[in-house]
Structure 1
Amino acid sequence: MTLSRRTILTGAAMLPLALHTLRFEAVAQTNPSAAAGSDIPPILFVHGNGDHAALWMTQIWRMESNGVPRNRLMALNFTDPLARSDDAVAQQGRSSTEDQRRELGEAIAKLKKRTGAVKVALVANSRGGNAVRNYVKNGGGGDVSHAVLCGTPNHGVFDWADNPGSEFNGRGPFLKGLNGSEGPEVTEGTAFLTLRSDGIDKYAQPDSRLLGKPGVATGVTSDGPALRGATNLVIGAIDHRETGFHPRAFREIYKFIAGREPARIDIAPENEVKISGLVTGTPGGAPTNRPVADALVEVYRVAPDSGERIGAALYATRTSADGRWGPVQVDPTWPVEIVLTSAGAPITHSYRSPFLRSSDVVHLRAGRALGPADTTAGAVVSMSRVRGYFGLPRDVVLLDGKEPTDVKAGVPTDSLSTIRLPVTDIGRPVAALFNQERIVVRAWPASENRITVAEFTE
């Protein structure tokens, strides 16, 4: 069932949501007081392969909207978020399972010190769940009350004799060490929950088509994320990323950690919103979370139906050595354009739906470099869904009034779609639509090394 962004984000009405065999209703209610969430352990959110903390922004907002104090919520940035091809062999710009275990431990210690808590809860998507299991099993269980693993390939993305050193090989040493051969696959003393898709997780497929080997069995199934000894839930026809970032996932995450249903699933807007974040880069094409210095960040308020700027820049400052930008105050009803100018990358014009609450994880990475396919284009316009994939025919997905031809049907695998416009279209508005979230952008000239991106919140 398609979700209305207006319903989810503003709570204008009751939100009936039926997925798989489970059903719940989220009713917009009075925002709970902060005290209502103070009995919940501090929560550390852990991202997946190649990602960053910003993906957890909406789930953090939902936690806050249910009364969990902001200082008890934290999202980790792994320095080099991509896994090595072989976990035992050093690889530039990539991390080992031990690197991730160490950085996770440092983040847990920081959150415990900040809050004074004895234990924290961990919520992880995809590869982040590998780090959580590794930390808990190898001496860190005393720090962790709850571990929620969302779409984590606990038995591998594949189970082959090939690539034995891959972190994602079910028969490789890393996962064999975590899973053992019999008995529980979780660590006693920490409560484990796994959330998985009902068949459309791109990394839990029986056929290797999506790994470039059609017709070859992966050795895993849609049940791969489940663990013996954990509470295991199938939460419907949601994709790999949505297992962690979907509103449906939030209900189960909150319920498991808090021991009760959330008061609301929608996000309660704040009257005063301040946003800030970190600028990172993709040296050699590999995404990292290392800070980028001397990057210019500009923020503009824009008109919702045209993408045209309203007034002067709300913010225009270069980053220092720590890569941080902001804060800048915005209104929770304003769509915005964020322009990132950094060395060696295209000038990226990112258009965003209104920020309903404050956030310090509005992290920025420049868009991809313009390539041969873009040389004759007047403008290059993309739409991006960072918290999930575009699913056809599951979702309504339109860019400039047309269903994209570069988004594959079936199992959702694509989070980016791009069109190229002629020179005569430079400067005109272009609408991007994902279900009921609509963002209007302006087509900037590619000849000036500029690209335009509509980044969906949901």
Structure 2
Amino acid sequence: MGITRRTLIAATTAAAAASGVAAPAAARTSRTRPVIFIHGSAGSAMQFRTQAKRLASNGYPIGVIEAQEYDSPSIATILPAVWAELDARIARLLAATGADRVDLLAHSLGTFVTQGYLNSSPERAARVAHYVNLDGRTATALPGGVETLAVWGEGDPARAVTGARNVYFPDQSHTQTVSSEESFTEIYRFLTGREPRTTRVVAQRTAYVSGRVVLFPSNAGVTGARLEAHPVSPLTGHRAGRGLTADIAPDGSFGPLPLHPHTRYEFALIRPGQSTHHFYFEPFRRSDTFVRLLTSRPGEGIGALVDTSERHTALTFQRQKEWWGAEGDELYVNGRNILNGANAPRAKRVIGIFAFDDGSDGVTDLTAPIPEIFAVTFMSGIDVFIPSYRRLSTVSIMVRGRGDGCTYLPVPNWPSDRHRVSIEVDDH
């Protein structure tokens, strides 16, 4: 995961003492097996953040829930290396926990990676007790002969893994099948043979938060930077109270940081000669090892397509549940809903939204998405003028998700010529 085993056990043992949940050091006597998530194209551990915390809310030691991350655009050339890394991860987890086998879960492109891994040798398949295939590759037999649950979202109802338990959620989209409450119930029942005690993320007295700062979409760690974590006001999004400074390891990992579970936080990534990248989260509620701060180098990646100015703020929104602009999802910026069927259609499967003043002309145009960003898988660009000027004020943000209530997520109106702003919206 990027943090040392000793550090993780120390932090999560303290969290467990406060919550009554078994700690990683006690995993040898736990009935749960280690769980490894393998993400899809342009993905990371972030897609499984909520499910990892739901598992922990049901007694899983957080230290035995991990993710195998990789550079998805390069998978054709690095697949043997990814399999070797997965071998090493499984061996380490089995040695650390005393478990007989591990459980693997994969999404989308990750099902290609994982099915190939399980089929590559009987020895590899023998170390896996259960496999969960999330809205990805079909198969005419159980991968590696491993007991399999296949979860399918909207799309062709004929998709299946032969011999598996195939479950269909036709009203859920591609990424939503990974993060939904309904998917969790099926996963937990399959892995444990029991019903979950809860599908909620149960709060702890202290949330120990760790993760990685990575370049999107390669998942390469960011180095030569400083990370600060600041509590923020729920009314303004401005910093409120004393913050923490976190070291960033060579692989981009940081933490664990002890945070208040009911407080919103800003993570500020500070790199010499570059814009400060501010990441805003909803309250963590409980310990979380799957935080990923997705960024890029100057002039590279999607960030290079964002027009910047001292006069306007640029925002990036991410949610591990697709935005359906004409079917129940609303995203209000300074009182105006910026989503519609043109810039966030259901068929586009948008999980990342870049909202900024395209052309820096001071004009908002919601009639069509920004083409060069809309062309990127799972992304959309929205031309919206968000004033910044020189006096730091507040951008009012309210999310009304389909089937959910309203969430108020204000942030400061940082000028985009010197600041980048990313907002992670919970998928539950």
If the length of structure 1 is used for normalisation, what is the TM-score? 0.72
| Structure 1 residue 392: Cα displacement | 2.8
Aligned to 2:425: 456
Instruction: Sort the Cα spacing of 1:318 and 1:74 in 2 relative to 1 into closer, same or farther, 3 A.
Output: closer
In the alignment, the residues of structure 1 paired with residue 421 and residue 190 of structure 2 have an alpha-carbon distance, to the nearest angstrom, of 40
Q: Which deviations, in whole Å up to 9, do the C-alpha atoms of 1:223-279 show, x marking residues without a partner?
A: 33x211111110231111111111111111001111121111001111111212211
1:414 equivalent in alignment to 2:398: no
CA offset at residue 150 of structure 1? 0.6
**Partner amino acid, structure 1, of 2:59:** G
Partner AA of 1:295 in structure 2 = A
Q: Is the 8 A contact 2:388 2:413 kept in 1?
A: no
Gaps of 5+ in 2: 1-18, 297-301, 358-385
Letter in 2 for 1:191: E
Change (3 A) 1:345 1:457: farther
Q: Does 1:38 align with 2:30?
A: yes
Write the distance in 2 (CA, Å) between the matches of 1:131 and 1:237: 26
- Displacement of 1:42 in angstroms is 2.0
* Equivalent in the alignment of 1:444: 414
1:383 maps to what in 2? 317
How many equivalent residue pairs? Answer: 361
**What CA distance in whole angstroms lies between the structure 2 residues aligned with 1:292 and 1:231?**
40
Query: Is the CA contact (8 Å cut-off) linking 2:209 and 2:256 kept in structure 1?
Result: yes
Partner amino acid, structure 1, of 2:35? I
Return the alpha-carbon distance in structure 2 between the equivalents of residues 305 and 407 of structure 1: 28
- Matched residue SS, 2:158: coil
Q: Structure 1 residue aligned with 2:130, among 127, 146, 150?
A: 146
Change (3 A) 1:392 1:378: closer
Shift in CA distance, 51/70, structure 1 to aligned 2, threshold 3 Å: same
Q: Structure 1 33/271 Cα, relative in aligned 2: closer, same or farther at 3 Å?
A: closer
Is it true that 1:239 corresponds to 2:173 in the alignment? yes
Answering whether residue 291 of structure 2 is matched by residue 362 of structure 1, we say yes
Q: For the structure 1 residues 428 and 195, does the alpha-carbon distance in structure 2 shift closer, same or farther, using more than 3 Å as the test?
A: same
Q: Which runs of 5+ in 1 are unaligned?
A: 1-30, 155-178, 200-220
Report the counterpart of residue 149 of structure 2 in structure 1: 193
1:8-27 to 2 correspondence within 5 Å?
Answer: none
Identical amino acids, percent of aligned pairs: 25
Structure 1 equivalent of residue 6 of structure 2: none
1:388 counterpart SS class: strand
Of the structure 1 ranges 143-152 and 64-73, higher mean CA displacement relative to structure 2 is found in: 64-73
**Distance of aligned partners of 1:441 and 1:327 in 2 relative to their CA distance in 1, 3 Å threshold:** same
- Distance in 2 (alpha carbons) for counterparts of 1:432 and 1:455: 13
User: Are the equivalent residues in 2 in contact too, given 1:381–1:443 (CA < 8 A)?
Assistant: no
- Could you give the per-residue CA deviations for residues 105-156 of structure 1, whole angstroms, max 9, x where no partner exists? 22222221221122111111111111221111111110111100111133xx
User: Residue by residue, what CA displacement relative to the aligned partner does 1:44-97 show, whole Å, maximum 9, x if unpaired?
Assistant: 12211222223322111111111122233222222x23345xx3xx4xxxx3x3
1:67 aligns with 2:59: yes
1:351/1:189 CA distance change after superposition, 3 Å: same
The answer for the alignment partner of 1:82 in structure 2 is 73
- 8 A Cα contact 2:309 2:415, kept in partner: no
CA distance in 2, matches of 1:185, 1:83: 27
- State the partner residue of 1:217: none
Cα deviation, residue 349, structure 1: 1.2
Structure 1 residue 345 displacement after superposition: 5.7
Q: What SS does structure 2 have at the residue aligned with 1:39?
A: coil
Q: Do the aligned residues in 2 keep the contact of 1:278 with 1:363 (CA within 8 Å)?
A: yes
Partner of 1:429: 395
Cα contact 1:105–1:135 (8 A) shared by 2: no
**Residue in 2 that maps onto 1:316:** 245
State the partner residue of 1:328.
257
Kept in 1: contact 2:39–2:47 (CA 8 A): yes
Aligned partner letter, 2:177: T
| C-alpha RMSD of matched pairs (Å) | 2.6
Q: 1:187 to 1:328 in 2, by over 3 A?
A: closer
AA at the equivalent of 1:427: S
SS where residue 362 of structure 1 aligns? strand
Q: Which residue identity does 1:82 align to in structure 2?
A: P
Asked whether the equivalents of residues 71 and 115 of structure 1 are also in contact (C-alpha less than 8 Å), the reply is no
Which of these residues, 180, 195, 212, is aligned with residue 261 of structure 1? 195
| Counterpart amino acid of residue 414 in structure 2 | W
The CA distance in 2 between the partners of 1:272 and 1:423, in whole Å, is: 35
The residue identity in structure 1 corresponding to 2:312 is: G
1:275–1:358 CA contact under 8 A, matched in 2:
yes
Q: In the alignment, which of 325, 336, 357 is matched to residue 392 of structure 1?
A: 325
Shift of 1:359: 1.8
One-letter code aligned to 1:325: F
- Counterpart Cα distance in 2 of 1:361 and 1:408: 26
| Aligned positions of 1:112-191 closer than 5 A | 112-139=94-121, 140-154=124-138, 179=139, 184-187=140-143, 189-191=145-147
- Alpha-carbon contact 1:340-1:366 (below 8 Å) kept: no
Q: 1:56 to 1:372 in 2, by over 3 A?
A: closer
